[in-house]
Amino acid sequence: MQGMDLLRHLRFFVAVADEGHFGRAAAALDMTQPPLSQGLRRLERHLGVELIRRTPRGAVLTAAGTGLLPRARLLVDDADLLRAEAARIARTRGSVRWGAIPALPPALVTACVTALRAAPAAPSVVTVTGSTVDLVAQVRSGGCDAAVLEHPALVDGVVAGPVVKLPRAVAVPRDHRSAAAERPGFAMLAGLPFLTAARAGNPPAHDAARDLLRERGLDVPLHTAADDRALLAAVAAGAGFGFSALPPAETPGVAWLRLAPDAIALRVRVIHRPGAEDAAAALDAVLFRERLR
């Protein structure tokens, strides 16, 4: 009996065991009962054991059937998973799945998507947003082809590109004294909490930002802001200050300060899985162009 026939007849066995009845099993498999019964007999002959005992009240597992059913079910389920994965790969062939941290400005995200679409065969592009820790895990597992994440970060198990600095400004409440100062400094922010992403999303970068503030004499409370929208809403409410890579623009309730631009720059890098070099190169090119603006 060939391998594919074995799998087909194992499916018969599992269906009869699940239904406890040949007629119901045949209906579940969308077939008639005679070929199902014949197939099960062929399987029993092939294995050299009786699997199902036919009784007036239905189909009953034998001791051999009870012992072999878990293995048969595993083989059938694995075959279903194999078909599902093959179908997924067929659907996504030619597509690129990439990830971006929330700190990337929208214009930069769309520039990355445009660059990926311009790759050979003009693939479709799927964009996911997540923390640095999540994106590393997705690229490592093959869930994403590439990602732009914040540096420093633990990037074991993936291929990492060069670090690029993107400009950031300090967002403060418009009515804060630093907004009207001729020469504002970090010391003026002492009364405000620092708004930043949760530490769990990238502990090394989170700790580096806190160390940066401490070096400048600021040991302030840290409040969580998941993204720029949350950050600017909290700043406008007078709840703190934070760093943003958004291009400074007229924003109600918010003033922008340019303090230590090199120190507070958003450090990012592209990571990718092996085999996704083209996607990584496209993303790197976008980041380097942004750096030179």
pTM of the full structure: 0.67
**Looking at residues 164-179, what average pLDDT do you find?**
96
Say what the pLDDT of residue 235 is: 98
pLDDT single digits (tens) 59-77 = 899 999 999 999 999 998 8
Q: How confident is the model at residue 120 (pLDDT cuts 50, 70, 90)?
A: low
pLDDT single digits (tens) 79-97 = 888 776 655 655 555 689 9
Say what the pLDDT of residue 1 is: 43
Say what the pLDDT of residue 233 is: 98
User: DSSP string covering 72-140, please?
Assistant: HHHHHHHHHHHHHHHHHHHHHTT-EEEEE-TTS-HHHHHHHHHHHHTSTT---EEEEE--HHHHHHHHH
Residue type, 258: R
Structural domains for the chain: 3-91 (1.10.10.10), 96-164+267-291 (3.40.190.10), 168-264 (3.40.190.10)
**Residue 90 CB contacts under 8 Å (≥ 6 apart), including other chains:** none
Tell me, letter by letter, the H, E, C secondary structure of 258-269: CCCHHHHCEEEE
Q: What is the mean pLDDT of the chain?
A: 90
- Scanning the structure block, which residue is given the tokens 């700043």? 235
Signed CA dihedral, 14, 19, 20, 22: sign only: negative
Top mean-pLDDT range of 84-93, 117-126, 217-226: 217-226
How far is 123 from 85, CA to CA, in rounded Å?
20
List the end-to-end C-alpha distance of the chain, in Å, as a whole number. Answer: 67
- Report residue 223 as tokens: 């409040």
- Scanning the structure block, which residue is given the tokens 């074995």? 6
* Chain centroid to CA 74: 28
Phi, psi of 241 (to 5 degrees): -130, 165
**Residue 187 CB contacts under 8 Å (≥ 6 apart), including other chains:** 216, 217, 218
Phi, psi of 63 (to 5 degrees): -60, -40
pLDDT single digits (tens) 263-287 = 999 999 999 999 899 999 999 999 9
Q: How many CB atoms lie within 10 A of CB 90?
A: 8
Say what the pLDDT of residue 195 is: 97
Say what the pLDDT of residue 2 is: 43
Q: How confident is the model at residue 3 (pLDDT cuts 50, 70, 90)?
A: very low
Residues linked to residue 266 through DSSP beta bridges, in sequence order? 166
How far is 16 from 26, CA to CA, in rounded Å?
8
